[in-house]
Structure 1
Amino acid sequence: MSDMNVTIYDIAKKCHVSIATVSRVLNGNSRVSEKTRRIVLDAIKDMGYTPNPFARGLGLDSMKIVGVLCTSLTDAFFARAVSLIEDGMRQHHFDIMLSCTGPNTGHNSPYITGLVNKHVDGLITVGTVFSSEPDIAALTAAAGKIPVLTINCDYHQPGIYSIVCNEAEGMRRLVHTLARQHCRHIAYLYDVRTYSGRHKLQGLRQGLKELGIKENPALIQQVSLNLEGAEKAIENLVSRNVPFDAIVTSEDILAVGAQRAALENGRYVPVIGWNNSILATCATPTLSSIDNRLDSLCASAVQSMTQLLSGQDQPVPVRTEFSAILVERESFQTKKE
């Protein structure tokens, strides 16, 4: 009985050949030895492989489509990531099929299996929204059928390729930079404890520990991801007379709100956001921000995915890491004695 979930990726793995070789056999290409052709055809028969009917109608065994998963395009980070991936994949003659999961993290396995069942050639996830055991299990299962690549998350699961920014190290270095400006009471505002969020917090605590600064739990606050959430957090610190001489946030939008509240309350302290988005340059004063290298992450993801789908012999690294960079703007110099 045919199994519609068997893909050429499975056939290639079983036969220890490239995806391109399997495609040549399916398309009757003469550039395959008779021995290899027989091995591939036997595997196709044994595994009950059925070619994608839509792609076969075009004389191919690929839809030339890569699935992309993120939470929402209303978020500037995700919107830019999708745009970069789409532009990059089009240069390699691939289209993308986008699926937005919404903010309800932990219940996204149907979105993963939905794209796989639509016969996409590969899958790219953006961000850290796939955190539950069912989600990770669905990604791992998908990786057994098609190439799966994650941007800014590392699940350490077989067959899943990761492109990440070392945000923990970026935060650790930022704490040391602030300390050189005599800032030892750093307020940190974040929204959710995702993979990225946990690493930022880890870097903050590591930096404080290295400098011998005792962590003050009152300065680390989880807030709603909007201007109001950040403003209320800073106003709360001021009303309670909790000392702070710098503000760091997990997202630029939080930094905009935090800076506004701090200035309104006469607190002239360095404010640093995260993602180096357009919000940072639109704020007044302009915001310093940690650049988590989204352009580089997406370009690397496109390169790795196209390499995996082309069946090239050159190995693709399971994990690719970039360093975070502090982009200093006016908000880094607002500290007054």
Structure 2
Amino acid sequence: MNIYDIARLADVSIATVSRVVNDSPKVSEKTKQKVRAVMEEQNYTPNVFARGLGLNSMKTVGIVCPDVSDAYMAEAVAYLEKSFRNYGYDCILYCSGYEYESKVKSVQMILRKKIDALVLVGSHYAGDGGEEDIRYLSEAAEKAPVFLINGYIRCPGVYCVLSENYQIMYDTVCALTEAGRQRILFLYDSHSYSATQKLSGYEDALRDNGLPVVEELKIFTENKIATVRENLLSKEGLSFDAVVATDDGLAVGALKYANKKQLRVPEDVNIVGFNNSELAVCCEPELTSVDSRSDALCKTAADSLMQLLEGKSIRHKRSIRCHLIKRGTTNF
């Protein structure tokens, strides 16, 4: 039994339940009696989430990301910290790594700090969306509202803000096929929700344009430029006329491969990266890349979180449109 169950049984919002817990004067005596009756009937003991929404706020937000040395995550964490500070909230940051047990432990540890809300940066925290993978998130959401950036799960108390990765990948691959590209390589380095959405967009675009999905053109590799180049060089007979990658580092590795094989870019091979990072402008030719708009993701998450803590209703899922930034590695 959690705050959502009490709100549902009493036919009120979770913010109203929180105000009742804190004996707020903003709630009528009639509503207070109704909610308290449900709480007593269900033997409900208010938790830190209920208290945090009301008068006893700790004014602290917890942020967890896998690796703050990652450029994308570092940028997201910096934006979130600045946004919450402007709202008058402090932040606590934990770096969890990518292993499941480490992620669970990090979430449990940061919740002991009595935070008002928890923000998870990256779709890795959603796993494959299965019940076992997200159990620790549903348990966390009983203690504090959870915001998941660039991932999606259906779970009470977990609010998701994500980029439209499927659509931008679908549109990009369609544009490549319309420009005559027939063998499009897909490079990826994880099985996260975000990567899975990109893969689905890639495959659907091929099918919808009458091209086969060729397994040998889907390559999983470590996201290190030199490693990508060497992996591609090691595959005898591999041929492709375009590359789409789930990260700029992977795309730059493909560009290094093309240079080694004396392939002209973009004439012989088009290459598209993802995240529009500094890497995109540190290579020659400069890299066409998808801007996943991490600033918009983080702003939406921060603003929505504050609205929730103020007792307002918010959507459980918000999506942000991506932009393709064309540079020298494509000519469509």
Alignment of 1:242-261 (within 5 A): 242-261=238-257
Tell me what 1:323 maps to. 321
Shift of 1:43: 7.6
Shift of 1:153: 0.7
Tell me what 1:303 maps to. 303
Shift of 1:323: 2.2
2:169 to 171, 181, 191: 171
Indicate the larger mover: 89-98 or 12-21: 12-21
Could you tell me whether the CA contact under 8 Å between 1:70 and 1:129 is conserved in 2? no
Aligned length: 320
Q: With structure 1 as the length reference, what TM-score do the two structures score?
A: 0.84
Shift of 1:117: 2.3
| Separation of aligned partners in 2, 1:43 and 1:216 | 57
Shift of 1:21: 7.8
CA RMSD in angstroms, aligned pairs only: 2.9
Shift of 1:274: 0.7
Specify the SS of the correspondent of 2:211.
coil
| Separation of aligned partners in 2, 1:325 and 1:173 | 10
Q: Identical aligned pairs, as a percentage?
A: 31
Tell me what 2:281 maps to. 281
Shift of 1:235: 1.6
Alignment of 1:130-209 (within 5 A): 130=125, 131=127, 133-209=131-207
**Could you say if the C-alpha distance between residues 51 and 308 of structure 1 is closer, same or farther in structure 2, counting changes exceeding 3 Å?**
closer
Structure 2 residue ranges without an equivalent (≥5): none
Do residues 290 (structure 1) and 281 (structure 2) align?
A: no
Shift of 1:213: 1.0
Shift of 1:184: 1.1
Residue by residue, what CA displacement relative to the aligned partner does 1:60-108 show, whole Å, maximum 9, x if unpaired? Answer: 5111111111100111111111111111112211122111111324652
Could you tell me whether the CA contact under 8 Å between 1:275 and 1:289 is conserved in 2? yes
**Could you say if the C-alpha distance between residues 216 and 49 of structure 1 is closer, same or farther in structure 2, counting changes exceeding 3 Å?**
closer
Shift of 1:152: 0.8
Tell me what 1:230 maps to. 228
| Separation of aligned partners in 1, 2:155 and 2:47 | 27
**Could you say if the C-alpha distance between residues 106 and 214 of structure 1 is closer, same or farther in structure 2, counting changes exceeding 3 Å?**
farther
Tell me what 1:73 maps to. 68
2:81 to 78, 83, 86: 86
**Could you say if the C-alpha distance between residues 291 and 117 of structure 1 is closer, same or farther in structure 2, counting changes exceeding 3 Å?**
same
Could you tell me whether the CA contact under 8 Å between 2:181 and 2:241 is conserved in 1? yes
Shift of 1:136: 0.8
Indicate the larger mover: 16-25 or 300-309: 16-25
Could you tell me whether the CA contact under 8 Å between 1:108 and 1:135 is conserved in 2? no
| Separation of aligned partners in 2, 1:116 and 1:51 | 9
1:214 to 212, 215, 239: 212
